[in-house]
Amino acid sequence: MMIRTVTVSDAAALAAIYNYYVDHTVITFEEVRVTVDEFRHRIATALSQGHQWLVLEENNTLIGYAYSGLWKSRSAYRYTHEVTIYLAPDQSGKGFGSQLLTALFQQLANTNIANLMAVIALPNPASVALHESLGMKKVAHFSKVGYKFSQWVDVGYWQLSLMEK
């Protein structure tokens, strides 16, 4: 098992993981599958902007990824990042999410980032438990703000201050 920084050559494997969630869940609000080229572009853009993006690899197979990016684009938000994680659907519940997010949080703690935000489509007890196990606290709940698969979806925000660590 190895956690490492993403490369653009990881795009096909990561797009396959992500597109499962696009096709089958309300966890992401994207409704159209992301192409490998678009995923390459997202990775390259994130890396060029200095964002952290990690992958979890086992036996040369990528089984998950986690990354951070700007929470909001206005300059006053520059010290707050949104964190996101996706695991291959058959890899959840094995502790990999905790390993990935812990590594990501450790990397971010060594930067000038002060706050982390996680945006979770609700209900999602597994994701809530994961984020809260790492010290994140629920700070907001928005009712019926997303609409996917003919249903309204709530969203919660979880926050972790790196300044207090």
pLDDT tens-digit readout, 39-95:
999 999 999 998 999 999 999 999 999 999 999 999 999 999 999 999 999 998 899
Record the pTM: 0.95
Return the domain boundaries, the chain: 2-161
pLDDT of residue 135: 97
Q: Average pLDDT in the 13-31 region?
A: 98
Tokens of 148: 């996917």
H or E segment at 36? helix 36-48
Domain 2-161 listed as CATH 3.30.40.10: no
Planar angle of CA 146, 148, 150, nearest 5 degrees: 115
- Residue that is written with structure tokens 């994140």 in the block: 136
At 163, is the pLDDT very low, low, confident or very high (cuts 50, 70, 90)? confident
Extended beta strands in 9-114, E state: 53-58, 61-70, 80-87
Q: Does 165 score more than 70 pLDDT?
A: no
The predicted pLDDT at position 143 comes to 98
